Amino acid sequence: MTDIDTPRCGYVAIVGRPNVGKSTLLNHVLGQKLAITSRKPQTTRHNMLGIKTEGNVQAIYVDTPGLHKKNEKALNRYMNRSASAALKDVDVVVFVVDRNRWTDEDQLVLERVQYVQGPVLIAVNKTDRLDEKGDLIPHLAWLQEQLPNAELVPISALQGHNLDTLERLVAQRLPEADHFFPEDQITDRSSRFLAAELVREKIMRQLGAELPYQITVEIEEFKQEGHVLHIHALILVERDGQKKIIIGDGGERIKRIGQDARKDMETMFESKVMLNLWVKVKGGWSDDERALRSLGYDDI
């Protein structure tokens, strides 16, 4: 990106179905952990900006929830609205797809991306896992037929392969403009939001198949006292059984969740952290529009 000699700045939506690698891509582009990741679909629930400033180029990436067909709960509808809204006012779209798998939800995203007026890049992810690179050619040809004006970029978000090419193509397509954010700012989200997301990530990773989707995390206290950052986080679930799963036998599971979250928080906030976790039952929150707004699901 060093060959660009005039200031460029703009918004770049990262879109795709759930669990295709969008948040991993954002983290590797930024060079640090910002968006939470897990193997579970629908890990990302909110649009979040990841801002990368390098020389004359400021690319403002919008990490979006995966577009998905399940719409029966207010939370699912909120995530789909967030992802769709991101396509409306951006300068470049990066459509992340799998190297050899196409689902109904990929098709759903494709149908939205086909109406985008601006430049589209198709990031074909996980290509490092292909035994034969030739196996990719028919899939690339088919993708090009679907979006004739898009440019295809084979990448590995996890390994960082070919991300420099993707970033260069993004930079070339951004409009000439002064930068919107200070050079050292990497997100629009508050530290409280990032702390809540880290706790939620550890829950999703710890619980695996047992995971109750109806969990969210509220930060009730976030206070620096001397060299120690005190964080009190409330984990909300919908049923008593979910509360028991998160706490675990003798409190072992919630202890591990807290230990893992605290380590990441100390790295992110560059401070010693004292983290306290509680679990509370709040029935029906994930299908209650008013409850969702009170919990911060109101950013579109």
Report the binding-site residues.
Answer: 16-23, 63-67, 125-128
Using CA atoms, how far apart are residues 83 and 101, in angstroms rounded to an integer? Answer: 21
The annotation places the binding site for GTP at: 16-23, 63-67, 125-128
Query: In the chain, which ranges are continuous DSSP H helix?
Result: 22-30, 74-86, 104-113, 137-146, 163-173, 191-207, 240-247, 252-269, 289-294
CA distances from 74 to 1, 291, 300 (A): 41, 10, 14
| Alpha carbon distance 103, 68 (integer Å) | 10
Q: Residue 24 contacts by C-beta under 8 Å, 6 or more apart in sequence?
A: 35, 37, 157, 158
> 94, exposed or middle or buried, with CB in 10 Å at 0-12, 13-18, 19+?
buried
H/E element, 45: none
